[in-house]
Amino acid sequence: KGKKDLTTIVGNVSGINPGESLKLSGRWVHNKKFGEQFQVETFEVTVPATVHGIQKYLGSGLIKGIGPVMADRIKGREDADFYFFQEEDPEKVLNSLISLCSERIPKRFGFHPVKDVQVLTPMHRGTLGVGNLNIELQKTLNPDPTGIIHGSKTFKMGDKVMQIVNNYDKDVFNGDIGWISRINREDRELTIDFDGKQINYDFSELDEVVLAYAISVHKSQGSEYPVVVLPVMTQHYLLLQRNLIYTGITRAKKLVVLVGTKKALAIAIKNNKPQRRFTHLCQRLTE
């Protein structure tokens, strides 16, 4: 207690997950060669506060329903920064996500539906995958009937898009998010506003960008958004992991909204196995 020096752990300890902390109990001993050392007798791993909060929430019986009274229930919890809306059917989850992003959250909290709200999802395919979510959210958030078609994608003025490869010539990189600010059909050129930088793309270069109303949790790593909306369903079973939920909810700076089932969220919180990797690397290096 009271020692704030950089600490080196000597010995073996299983992997510590993102956001977890160690609480160590033991005693300080003096080593003639290395000086003061803390001899650990017992330790416990503390899960991230956000995950711990969700665990308490799951056990509290306060899981919110979804339907006609959803707006009233949000209104009744004005000071909260975390909401969970129970819904079993993927199509109804989709409809709820669209309603939350386009109407409920902007109306109740004043966030911009495109610039402030980010949908994150574990999957790329299916009703609640990145592809379908972007198509459906684009229809609602940017209903402009005009646009350009590039392969299977349609780009419109004002669309939220993401760069998916590094382009050093344009000074834009994988994961950068911007908004389409100009479409010039005559010159076959499109301009994207990346945080004030106007970057031009020839139509032939549009394989480098995708719609970004919804992105994968994996793609969101390292980024932050005012609001995160995250579907959590048992259909995502193979991807329901604690680190995925932790990554998703910690991308939000002000508000997190989860839509799905209590069962799926409980599975994810309990599933910590993918993060435990026992490679015996030290042993192999010495062999």
pLDDT for 33-44, tens place per residue?
A: 777 887 777 766
As a whole number of Å, the end-to-end CA separation of the chain is 39
pLDDT for 107-119, tens place per residue?
A: 999 999 999 999 9
Tell me which amino acid residue 108 is. Answer: R
76 versus 244: the higher-pLDDT residue is 244
Which pLDDT value is given to residue 252? 87
Whether 131 shows a pLDDT value over 90: the answer reads yes
275 versus 90: the higher-pLDDT residue is 90
DSSP codes of every residue in 49-67 = HHHHHHHHHHHHT-PBP-S
Max avg pLDDT among 80-94, 214-228, 267-281: 214-228
pLDDT for 134-151, tens place per residue?
A: 999 999 999 988 889 998
CA distance 248 to 258: 10
CB 263 within 8 A of CB 234: yes
Residue 169 tokens read as 């010539």
Q: What are phi and psi of 55, to 5 degrees?
A: -60, -45
CA distance 266 to 128: 19
Is this model's pTM higher than 0.85 or not? no
CA distance 118 to 216: 10
Other C-beta atoms closer than 10 Å to the C-beta of 55 total 15
User: 53-62, 86-95, 206-215: lowest mean pLDDT where?
Assistant: 53-62
Other C-beta atoms closer than 10 Å to the C-beta of 59 total 9
123 versus 17: the higher-pLDDT residue is 123
Q: What is the overall mean pLDDT for the chain?
A: 79
CA–CA distances in Å: residue 7 to residues 4, 10, 36, 37: 8, 10, 11, 9
Max avg pLDDT among 42-46, 50-54, 239-243: 239-243
47 SS3 class: coil
What number is the average pLDDT over the span 5-20?
58
Which pLDDT value is given to residue 13? 59
What number is the average pLDDT over the span 155-183?
95
* Closest by Cα among 246, 240, 267, 265 to 86: 265
Q: What share of the chain is helix, strand, coil (3-state, %, to 5)?
A: 30, 30, 35
Domains of the chain: 9-70 (no CATH), 79-270 (3.40.50.300)
Which pLDDT value is given to residue 164? 94
Whether 49 shows a pLDDT value over 60: the answer reads no
